[in-house]
Amino acid sequence: MKFTKMHGLGNDYVYINGFEEDLSQVDLPELARRISDRHFGVGGDGMILILPSDKADFRMRIFNIDGSEGRTCGNGLRCVSKYVHDHGLTDRVQFTIETLGGIVTPVVELGPGGLVEQVVIDMGEPRLTRRQIPMTGPAEEQVIQYPVVVADRTFHMTAVSMGNPHAVLMVDRLDEQDVLKYGPLLEAHEWFPERTNVEFIQIKNRREILFKVWERGSGITLACGTGACAAAVAAILSGRTERNVTVHLPGGSLKIEWRESDNHVYMTGPATEVFTGVYLGEIPQK
């Protein structure tokens, strides 16, 4: 099975071209677990499939390192956008990608040699009610700076869906030990029936946010595109930042804009192809 290794700010996945590979009989969750293993497989935060779609130009499926299927992935969307353009699946600079979290519209910006250097993605409107996240409690209530007790500590949480659930915690100082301790506890909190991603953010100034993340199904990663969008929305809702901010993630920075004109969130950032290869391990069957 051929694959391509790509990353968005260090958030790395194994990408498989479903236009070329027959995946109909493959046990995809098990393949994701095997191929994502950094010691016995290719290694990555998970596996992403690039597929045909009857609703959009392309379809993306994302499987986390634990085999669970994610709804969407901002860094993954940028990498899929780069792949389909650079590998000749489209010659357009704007197209649509179907995800479980909805259809998004990327615009690719080309660099030397006509290859994609940066991608701007319309991530759509943030979803803020408990029903949309999803989260237990009154269906139409918004959760903004809501106190939540996790083990021995109380955080103030803002819940945002960007096609997948996020619990954004504003802290005075970022500490990776806090991410390791409280991230998995909040991911599996009873309030979130589908679990949640957990973002720890520190407001640097009105145009910059510092960020660490515990990703649902993957743990600590170097970047999370939808999480950066959720962090920006949470900061704006609290009145701490402008509507156009730079989010500094461990793997690099993303520009996030929540436009008043259409209420959509726009994410701008790079995508990098690292290498291609052939996976020689056993392909698990259904």
> Please, are residues 148 and 154 in contact by the beta-carbon 8 Å criterion?
yes
Residues 166, 8, 72, 55: is their CA dihedral positive or negative? positive
Q: Quote the CA–CA distance of 24 and 257 in Å, as a whole number.
A: 39
Residue 160 token pair: 């945002």
Residue 15 token pair: 């990408």
Compute φ and ψ for 42, nearest 5 degrees: -75, -45
**Total count of residues recorded for the chain:** 286
Give catalytic residues, as residue numbers: 73, 224
> Please, are residues 49 and 58 in contact by the beta-carbon 8 Å criterion?
no
> Please, are residues 198 and 208 in contact by the beta-carbon 8 Å criterion?
no
Instruction: Give the residue among 245, 249, 240 at the shortest CA–CA distance from 257.
Output: 245
- So what's the pLDDT on residue 262? 96
DSSP class of residue 71 equals S
Which residues neighbour 284 within 8 Å (Cβ) at sequence distance 6 or greater?
Answer: 26, 27, 30, 31, 34
- So what's the pLDDT on residue 19? 98
- So what's the pLDDT on residue 231? 98
Q: Quote the CA–CA distance of 211 and 168 in Å, as a whole number.
A: 10
Q: Quote the CA–CA distance of 94 and 40 in Å, as a whole number.
A: 37
Complete domains list, the chain, with CATH: 2-123+271-278 (3.10.310.10), 146-263 (3.10.310.10)
Q: How do the residues of the chain divide into helix, strand and coil, expressed in percent and rounded to 5?
A: 15, 40, 40
Which residues neighbour 173 within 8 Å (Cβ) at sequence distance 6 or greater?
Answer: 202
- So what's the pLDDT on residue 128? 98
Q: Quote the CA–CA distance of 186 and 179 in Å, as a whole number.
A: 10
Any idea what the Cα angle at residue 162 is, between residues 54 and 48, rounded to 5°?
Answer: 55
Which residues neighbour 277 within 8 Å (Cβ) at sequence distance 6 or greater?
Answer: 2, 3, 5, 42
Per-residue pLDDT of the chain (286 residues; tens, 9 = 90+): 999 999 999 999 999 999 999 999 999 999 999 999 999 999 999 999 999 999 999 999 999 999 999 999 999 999 999 999 999 999 999 999 999 999 999 999 999 899 999 999 999 999 999 999 999 999 999 999 999 999 999 999 999 999 999 999 999 999 999 999 999 999 999 999 999 999 999 999 999 999 999 999 999 999 999 999 999 999 999 999 999 999 999 999 999 999 999 999 999 999 999 999 999 999 999 9
Q: Quote the CA–CA distance of 165 and 12 in Å, as a whole number.
A: 20
Q: Quote the CA–CA distance of 123 and 233 in Å, as a whole number.
A: 12
